[in-house]
Amino acid sequence: MSYKSLWQGRIDSEDGDAGRRWHQVVEFQDTPYKAAGGLCLVGYPNDSGVEANKGRIGAAQGPDALRQAMANLPWILAGKLFDIGNCTIHCELAETQQDYASRVSEALRANKVLGLGGGHDIAWASYQGLNKATDGIGNIGIINFDAHLDLRKPAPSASSGTPFRQIAEFSQRNNKPFHYACLGASLAANTPALLDYARTTGTRMLPDTQFSVEGAIECLTPMLENVEHLYVTVCMDAFPASVAPGVSAPSALGISPQDTVQIIQWLGNQCRARGLKWVLSDIAELSPGFDIQGATARLAGRIGFELANAMHG
């Protein structure tokens, strides 16, 4: 099935433009060069990184499930909506990430981008795309809603558990500051080795047991004072398995979706007030084969809706 055929939904023709939904405004472009002046969706239908991290495979179907979940959302943004399809999947994870990063960097020249994962190895690819699009100028703040720190050593190979360590090591090699915050990290899902590395790199962490809007504001405000660009990534395994069963690694406890939405909205307001450039977000680890009645996909779609609105303001 072509990804284009997934964009279907209700039509309220009696309401005119005020009744439009995402499926009615989306435009398809075969290349990022042709997309300009809006929100650009880029798919990353890959779960080889999840498999390498010994997770439940199935996130490769995540982008299409996200498209279906977002198709019926009301369109309330100024500008256009583009879907430029999926990146090319290669035998080597690094090549797939490079292809995605290239698409993101080109799309960012004239758009804001929402990435549709795929495993959380999308984060290393997203960061590379943003770093290239900004020509390496300005500090990038990374905010990750996740039960896992994803700071594993990329040995013997990179995986969905290594992206932020890859970013940390890249930053060190290039004398760049590493601004990373993980909101919702589970102490029951991260080893002492990962926690030690987090402390060593100055990672900001808000545990799932302390997750709240107020806690996030306290955690993130100092970082926002030291960055020019913002990249936000949401791993669907951050949420309770009872709410989001269709993920690569279900969470026993998880964080509140309502608080997550409020934090995303707060971030949008902060970026406008501080003049920060928030042009890139993505959603990872949606695994439709394990979903129950589409609950996880619907939540992921709502998260996509909030990210898009917060980035545009």
Catalogue all structural domains in the chain, each as residue range(s) with its CATH number: 3-312 (3.40.800.10)
Is 229 annotated in a binding site? The answer is: no
pTM: 0.97
Is 235 annotated in a binding site? The answer is: yes
User: Could you give phi then psi for residue 26, rounded to 5 degrees?
Assistant: -60, 140
Contact 120, 210 (CB under 8 A): no
Provide the mean pLDDT of the chain.
Answer: 96
The fraction of the chain above a pLDDT of 90, given in percent, is: 94
Sign of CA dihedral 216, 115, 66, 188: negative
Is 196 annotated in a binding site? The answer is: no
Contact 21, 72 (CB under 8 A): yes
Token pair recorded at residue 270? 């902060």
Residue 18 DSSP one-character state: G
CB atoms within 10 A of CB 134: 18
Is 146 annotated in a binding site? The answer is: yes
Residue 34 DSSP one-character state: G
Is 312 annotated in a binding site? The answer is: no
pLDDT of residue 31: 75
Give me the residues paired with residue 82 across strands.
27, 40
> d(Cα 147, Cα 126) in Å, to the nearest integer?
19
Q: Tell me: the pLDDT tens digits for 218-271?
A: 999 999 999 999 999 999 999 999 999 999 999 999 999 999 999 999 999 999
Q: Which residue has the tokens 């406890």?
A: 253
**What are the percentages of helix, strand and coil residues in the chain, rounded to 5?**
45, 20, 35
Is 120 annotated in a binding site? The answer is: yes
